[in-house]
Amino acid sequence: MIIVEVPMINGLGKTKGCEDAPCMITTSLSKNRKNFQIVELNLSKKNLEESQRIIFKEAMDIIKKNKDNNEKILFLGGDHSISYPLVNAFNQVHPLPFLIVFDAHVDLMEPMKEPTHEEWLRAIIEKGFDSKNILLIGGQKIYDEEKDFLKKSKIRLVNKKEVDEMISNPQKLNFLNEYGAIYLSIDIDVLDSSFFSATGYPEKGGLSKEQFEKLLRAIFLFKNVKALDLVEINPDKDLNNKNVKLISEVLSNIFQDY
């Protein structure tokens, strides 16, 4: 397993604190496992444009180097804006990529010049990622502008009931075998805020820990899962590091065979 720490936030101020999560999660994970290869991206004193350029270049190098082996790559953010350069790099390296997004929000607003956590997904589609090759799990809060784009782009939405169906009947995921490589982007606010509140935009009615972990396990059975990012964990909102420990436990369970 390769872990890449990507401590970037978009500068709008709404996700301040998330830049501290990568180091904390890596430290927590290392207590259970010692065989991670850790890469730290130095993004201090860099503006958003410079940071995205560095992330894209470093991600390209790491993804290319590991394209043909079974090594999984985990990018730890930061907020969801890091996914814009990461997924663009993945899209350029792997033929026929598929993107699975766990998120309570669909992030499909009109993109800014340097896409933030609120419009990164629309930005990668406008950059050339095929919207039909995207599965969005757990989306709850959708603005009218985003509904119009969803309808036009034909992104498939998966609700909690369908998550349970995928868990009980994993064959529903067999279509993933048709793709060259799979990338997962996980915004932690997909989890129900009743037990996971250490994030900037917590939502009620999200996935349970059990649903989240079981679905990840089912997806990770596919050999073409190559990389994932985990974003929007905010230690500033985490009492006694309870949520950091929780997500580290889930990751340790999922990655125990890698």
Lowest average pLDDT, out of 32-46, 100-114, 122-136, 223-237, goes to 32-46
Please report the pLDDT score of residue 33 as a whole number.
62
Residue 34's pLDDT band, with cuts at 50, 70 and 90, is: low
More confident residue, 162 or 28: 162
Lowest average pLDDT, out of 110-114, 150-154, 203-207, goes to 110-114
Average pLDDT over residues 135-158: 93
* pLDDT (tens digit per residue) in 185-203: 999 999 999 999 999 999 9
More confident residue, 254 or 164: 164
DSSP letter (8 states) at residue 141: B
% of the chain with per-residue pLDDT over 70: 98
Residue 258's pLDDT band, with cuts at 50, 70 and 90, is: low
Please report the pLDDT score of residue 257 as a whole number.
66
Residue 106's pLDDT band, with cuts at 50, 70 and 90, is: very high
* pLDDT (tens digit per residue) in 114-146: 888 989 999 999 999 999 999 999 999 899 999
- pLDDT at residue 112 above 90? no
Comparing C-alpha atoms, which of 86, 48, 57 is closest to residue 186? Answer: 86
Please report the pLDDT score of residue 36 as a whole number.
81
> What is the distance between the alpha carbons of residues 99 and 102, in angstroms, rounded to a whole number?
10
Residue 29's pLDDT band, with cuts at 50, 70 and 90, is: confident
Number of Cβ atoms within 10 Å of the Cβ of 141: 12
* CATH numbers and ranges of domains, the chain: 2-257 (3.40.800.10)
Label the pairing between strands 97-102 and 181-187: parallel
Question: DSSP assignment of 210-249, as one string?
Answer: HHHHHHHHHHHTSTTEEEEEEE---GGG-GGGHHHHHHHH
Average pLDDT over residues 59-88: 95
